[in-house]
Structure 1
Amino acid sequence: MLAQRTNLFGSSGTAAARAAAKAAADAGKEIIDLTAGEIWSDLAPTIREGAIEAINRGVNRYTDTVGMMELREALARKVSLDTGQIWKAEEIAVTSGAKQALFNAAMVLLNPGDEVIIPAPYWTTFPAQVLIAGGTPVFVDTRSNGYVPRFEDIKAAVTDRTRAIVINTPNNPTGAVYDVQTLIGIAELAINRNFWIVFDECYGDFVHGDHRHHLIVSVVRARTLIVNAFSKSLALTGWRIGYLAGPKEVINAVKALQSHTTSNPNVIAQHAVLAHLQGGDGTYESKLRSQLASARQVGLNALSSLTRVPVPKAQGGFYFYLDLSDLLKPASMNGAAVTADEVVNSLLSEAGVAAVSGTVFGDPAGLRLSYGIPPEKLEAGLSRLVDVLNAWE
């Protein structure tokens, strides 16, 4: 028999969507996959060269549990530059991707019954990890406010058991970018009510139009943990390198925990990222931003033909998040509520387009589409999607 905690969570909804797309492709159907949270791109030359150089030197030993000191020092310099504050290596833990950074944070901060505020729609891993750690997710709906939480709604959700809030901006899945006033209000509330802010900025390099990525740590450093990774900013999803930045006592606890889980992250990936931090000149990052800006425009042009679904704002990240509320208002013949799940199934079967239903993000009327794929595939996939949605009855 399995442990009771396995009843608290299932497989990642986004992973399940990718698996469904792959299964359809394996069955011989031509599929345009808009599910994956990754960018199709070549490696940065500095990453490739750093990895090869480490392999050629025979690098294959353990490093410090939370990463090589040289890498942590380089990350401390990066975070110092990003935030305008001085950070030290002892305030940085290198992790096997952002997911482990988030898991570590949940495990070292939460006691059974502690509440964690999570704006919804949310990345599916946020509540799952809170539950694994024995906490209770408390959701705050953002759908009526452009997917940015209202301060009064956050304040109303705070109780004596509130231990943390998860802030993810630019947001996955919605692409919303939080304004500075909202972040300041949350920061001041965290100070006054004595709870932690887990600040996930994995999509911070990709902000579009006149929007800006604001760092909450500039207001409330002592109560904030920064979660970031190179999966998005350097298109390294498979390399599994992320980091957690926060107060020294938290990082010490994370180090002890990680010593009993994964131990150190992949050593070759560590050397590759270190080489990039030491030798990169920003050219690769600029190329990625330009690639995504172009894909975003291609996608918005295609989606402008939607007749019953609003064109998404796509302020940050690389997702289009569609609000299907008007499309799904009519109930099905048997009286059951129609959700985005039905739309996803129709898109896959009728158009060969794979998408992620908002139900996995706590929103039965949402639909997430990635535009990290090649532009020609994106344009073709969205054209098919528009035909299906405009004909939906």
Structure 2
Amino acid sequence: MLAQRTRLFASSGTAAARAAAKAASDAGKEVIDLTAGEIWSDLAPSIREGALAAIERGENRYTDTVGLRELREALAAKVSRETGQVWHTDEIAVTSGAKQALFNAAMVLLDPGDEVIIPSPYWTTFPAQVLIAGGRPVHVDTRASGFVPRPQELERAITPKTRAIVINTPSNPTGAVYDQITLEHIANLAIRHDLWIIFDECYGAFAHAPHVHHPIVSLVPEVRSRTVIINAYSKTLALTGWRIGYMAGPKSVIDAAKALQSHTTSNPNVIAQHAVLEHLQRGDGSYERRLSDQLAQARRLGLDILSRQTLAPLPSAQGGFYFYLDLGSLLDIGPGSATPRSADDAVNALLAEAGVAGVSGSAFGDHMGLRLSYGITHDKLALGLERLVETFESWTKASRNVA
């Protein structure tokens, strides 16, 4: 018999979508995979050279549990530049990707029964990790407010058991970028109610103009003592498989995370650590600019193609690299139609009819949402979205015929 905690969570919905796409491909179907939360790109030269140099030096031994001191120093300098505040090495922990940083935060901040406010739609791992830590996710629906929570609705969700608020900007899956005023309200809310803020900015490098990413501690410095910043190189350097992330926060939190990590994974991959350190020390920003330009072009291409369909409103795609579509119009289709009636049905039909794989919003707490990644090559993106538009329009015509 399995432990009772295994009933609290299932496999990641995004991982399941990737698996479904791969299964269809393995079965011989031509599939355009728009499920993955990663960018199609070569390695940054500095990353490649840093990794090879570390291998040549024989870097194969343990580092400090929370990462090389030199890497934490470089990360502290990076966070200092980005926030306009001074951060120290003992306020940084290097982790095996952002997921471990988030897991560390949940485990060291939450007691059983604590409530954590999570705006919805949400990245599937947020509530799962709260549940694993013994907490209770409390979701605040943002669909009616452009996927950015209204501070008054967050405040209404606060109870004596509330311990933390999770903020993810730019958002996965919606691509929403939180504006300065909203973040200031959230920071002051946390201060008034003595709450932690878990601030996930993994997509912070990809806020599309005129939208701007704001570190919350820059806007309200007083909230720093109750904020844990989560970031990673999975997106900004296209290193999803290398599993390098970090958390920045008060020394007491980092010390507790270090103790926890010493009993879970110990230090992150040593070669990946040296590679990222090399990039931080001598990278000139050109790789990041090229990646941002690549995504900006993909975004423009995708929005142009999606504008040709009438089933779903055109997504704003303010940040990150996802198009998040509202398929609510499917609910208006008559019961006599074979057209999908939910995002789950739509995802299955798109894969079967068009060979296009996306992620159903049900993975993110929204049964009428659809997430499509535009981090893939432009030719595949264009082909996949053109197929999707054609399929959407066939559903629209079919529903009109039934009506």
Asked whether 1:240 is paired with 2:206, we answer no
- Measure the CA separation in 2 of the matches of 1:93 and 1:284: 25
Match of 1:381 in 2: 384
Partner of 1:50, secondary structure, is helix
Amino acid of the residue matched to residue 33 of structure 1? D
More helix by share: 2
- Measure the CA separation in 1 of the matches of 2:364 and 2:61: 39
- Measure the CA separation in 2 of the matches of 1:321 and 1:372: 14
Contact residue 170 and residue 178 of structure 1 kept, 8 A = yes
Partner of 1:328, secondary structure, is helix
Match of 2:263 in 1: 260
Partner of 1:391, secondary structure, is helix
> CA distance change for structure 1 residues 159 and 331 in 2, over 3 Å: closer, same or farther?
farther
> Following superposition of structure 1 onto structure 2, how do residues 270-309 of structure 1 map, counting pairs within 5 Å?
270-309=273-312
Amino acid of the residue matched to residue 210 of structure 1? P
Identity %: 72
Asked whether 1:111 is paired with 2:111, we answer yes
Query: Which region of structure 1 is more displaced relative to structure 2, 383-392 or 127-136?
Result: 383-392
Contact residue 196 and residue 223 of structure 1 kept, 8 A = yes
Match of 1:45 in 2: 45
Match of 1:191 in 2: 191
- Measure the CA separation in 1 of the matches of 2:351 and 2:329: 21
Aligned equivalent of 2:314, options 275, 299, 311:
311
Contact residue 116 and residue 165 of structure 1 kept, 8 A = yes
Aligned equivalent of 1:324, options 327, 342, 348:
327
- Measure the CA separation in 2 of the matches of 1:201 and 1:329: 36
- Shift of residue 391, structure 1, vs aligned partner: 1.7
- RMSD over aligned Cα atoms: 1.2
Amino acid of the residue matched to residue 164 of structure 2? A
- Shift of residue 333, structure 1, vs aligned partner: 5.1
- Measure the CA separation in 1 of the matches of 2:332 and 2:73: 53
Partner of 2:265, secondary structure, is coil
What whole-Å deviation, never above 9, does each CA across 1:3-43 have from its counterpart, x for those lacking one? 00000000000000000000000000000000000000000
- Measure the CA separation in 1 of the matches of 2:17 and 2:308: 25
> Following superposition of structure 1 onto structure 2, how do residues 1-393 of structure 1 map, counting pairs within 5 Å?
1-218=1-218, 219=220, 220-330=223-333, 332=335, 338-392=341-395, 393=399
Contact residue 130 and residue 137 of structure 1 kept, 8 A = yes
- Measure the CA separation in 2 of the matches of 1:390 and 1:80: 49
Partner of 1:87, secondary structure, is coil
Contact residue 110 and residue 135 of structure 1 kept, 8 A = yes
Aligned residue pairs total 392
- Shift of residue 62, structure 1, vs aligned partner: 0.2
Amino acid of the residue matched to residue 59 of structure 1? E
- Shift of residue 246, structure 1, vs aligned partner: 0.0
Amino acid of the residue matched to residue 133 of structure 2? A
Query: Which region of structure 1 is more displaced relative to structure 2, 214-223 or 118-127?
Result: 214-223
- Measure the CA separation in 2 of the matches of 1:299 and 1:197: 33
TM-score (normalizing by structure 2):
0.96
Contact residue 331 and residue 338 of structure 1 kept, 8 A = no
Contact residue 24 and residue 31 of structure 2 kept, 8 A = yes
- Shift of residue 255, structure 1, vs aligned partner: 0.2
Contact residue 9 and residue 128 of structure 1 kept, 8 A = yes
Partner of 1:251, secondary structure, is helix
Contact residue 121 and residue 147 of structure 1 kept, 8 A = yes
Contact residue 330 and residue 341 of structure 2 kept, 8 A = no
- Shift of residue 334, structure 1, vs aligned partner: 11
What whole-Å deviation, never above 9, does each CA across 1:280-302 have from its counterpart, x for those lacking one? 00000000000000000010010
Amino acid of the residue matched to residue 61 of structure 2? R
Partner of 1:106, secondary structure, is helix
Partner of 2:113, secondary structure, is coil
Contact residue 236 and residue 288 of structure 2 kept, 8 A = yes
Structure 1 unaligned residues grouped into runs of 5+: none
- Shift of residue 239, structure 1, vs aligned partner: 0.1
- Measure the CA separation in 2 of the matches of 1:216 and 1:379: 36
> CA distance change for structure 1 residues 12 and 63 in 2, over 3 Å: closer, same or farther?
same
> CA distance change for structure 1 residues 333 and 271 in 2, over 3 Å: closer, same or farther?
same
Partner of 1:244, secondary structure, is strand
